[in-house]
Structure 1
C-alpha cells in the first residue's frame, strides 16, 4: 500500500441491503473536495453535505420557515434567496445561535442523504460517498457510515489553500479553523487517512489508491492496522 494512504481499521460490512457508505471529511483547506473529485472520476457517487445544506436552506419550505422563525424574515431576501451575510452576522461568535441553526439544517441534510442512499440502493451501486466538513452525530438514527476517510494536511498548507480559494486574509481563515473541530478529533474517527502534501493532481490520483485499499479489505472482510 502507498504510504500516502494510511489505513487504520476497516471492518467487513454486510452490504446486501444498501451500498457501502463512506464518509470523507477533513478541516477547512485539507483537500477533501479535491479528493472527492478524484473519487467521482472513478464513477462513484458523491453526496456533498455542504452543497446540500445551501440548496435546502433555499428550496426546502419547512426549513425556510424554521430559519425565518428562528432568525427573522430578514434571513431571506425578497427574491427568496438566503441572505447568508445576515445569518452569518447572527451566528458569528454566538455558539447558541450556531447550534440552533445547525439543529435545523443538519436533520434536513441527513434526510436528503437518506434519499440518496435509497436511490443508490435502487441502482445497485456498490459505494456511496458522503462529503462533509463537520463531524455530525445522528442522535435520531443509526450511524449510516461504514467507514470514515480523513484528508489531512499541515495547518500552514490548509490556511494557504483556503486563502487562495476564498480570497480572504489569513486571519479570517484562522478564525474559521478555530471554529472547527481540532485535527485530533478528525484523526480519532478515521479508518483511513489520506495525506495531502502534493499537487491537486497528486491528491486526485490518491483516490484510486484509496479505493483499491477499501475494495481489497472490504472484499476480504478483514480488520487491520498499519503504522
Structure 2
C-alpha cells in the first residue's frame, strides 16, 4: 500500500447504531482506536480525576458496594433529568477531551476516536474527517431491547442526544447500519478508500 498522511477520524453516531462495530472494522484496517466511553469510565473510577467531583455532585447513592460509581444507578438519575445529564457531561467531558487529545498526539499512524457526543460537546476540529454511524429508529429500538432496556428507557436515551439527522448533516461521511455486519464492513472500507485517495491534499 502506498504511504499516505495519517488519517485521524472522529467517529460518532446515535445510541445502538454500531459505532463499536465500525471501531472494530477500523482496527482490522490498521487503525488505532480509542473509545471515549471506556476512557470516561476509567476517569470516573475511584482515584480517577473526576471521581470525587461526580460523587460530590450526585451523592453517595451512586456508589456501589465496591466503592466505585455504579453507572447503572448514575444512568437512572441523568436520563430522568436533562439538567443532571448536562451537569455530568460538564464534569466529565473536559477531562475526556483532554486525555483523548493527548492520545491523538501520540499516534503516528491512522487513528480514530469514538465520540458519541462529538457534536454536542463542540469537538469538531482536529479531524481528517467526521464519520456518523446511523440506523433507522426501529432498528435502534430492537437493538436497545436486546440490551435489556424498556421502550420508555430507550426513548429517554435517544431523546438525550442530538437528533441523528442533525449529526448526519454535520458529518463528512455517513455509514448506514441497518443491515448485516458484512454490509457495514463494505461501506466502511469504501469510506477509507475515499479518504486514502485524498492523500496529502486533505487537511
Give the TM interval when normalised to the shorter protein. Answer: 0.7 to 0.9
CA contact (8 A) 1:137 1:143 kept: no
Aligned ranges 1:117-156 → 2 under 5 Å: 117-120=104-107, 124-125=108-109, 127-134=110-117, 135-138=119-122, 143-156=125-138
Aligned ranges 1:28-177 → 2 under 5 Å: 28-120=15-107, 124-125=108-109, 127-134=110-117, 135-138=119-122, 143-164=125-146, 166-177=147-158
Match of 1:6 in 2: none
* Structure 1 unpaired stretches of 5+: 1-14
* Structure 2 unpaired stretches of 5+: none
CA contact (8 A) 1:37 1:204 kept: no
Partner-residue secondary structure (3-state), 1:110? helix
Query: 1:162, 1:89 → 2: CA distance?
Result: 15
State the Cα distance separating 1:222 from its structure 2 match.
Answer: 5.7
| 1:108 to 1:130, Cα distance in 2 relative to 1, 3 A | same
TM-score (norm 2): 0.86
Number of residue pairs aligned between Structure 1 and Structure 2: 198
CA contact (8 A) 2:80 2:156 kept: no
Task: State the Cα deviation string for residues 205-224 of structure 1 (Å, max 9, x = none).
Answer: 3322221111112x16269x
Q: CA RMSD in A?
A: 2.2
Query: 1:143, 1:220 → 2: CA distance?
Result: 18
The structure 2 residue matched to 1:206, chosen from 169, 187, 193, is 187
- Indicate the larger mover: 102-111 or 61-70: 61-70
State the Cα distance separating 1:175 from its structure 2 match.
Answer: 2.5
TM-score (norm 1): 0.78
Match of 1:8 in 2: none
- Indicate the larger mover: 129-138 or 39-48: 129-138
Q: Is it true that 1:188 corresponds to 2:172 in the alignment?
A: no
| 1:143 to 1:87, Cα distance in 2 relative to 1, 3 A | same
Query: 1:62, 1:91 → 2: CA distance?
Result: 20
Partner-residue secondary structure (3-state), 1:85? helix
State the Cα distance separating 1:48 from its structure 2 match.
Answer: 0.6
- Indicate the larger mover: 88-97 or 176-185: 88-97
User: Which of 1 and 2 has higher RCO (CA within 8 Å, sep 6+)?
Assistant: 1
CA contact (8 A) 2:132 2:167 kept: yes
| 1:221 to 1:175, Cα distance in 2 relative to 1, 3 A | same
Query: 2:12, 2:155 → 1: CA distance?
Result: 19
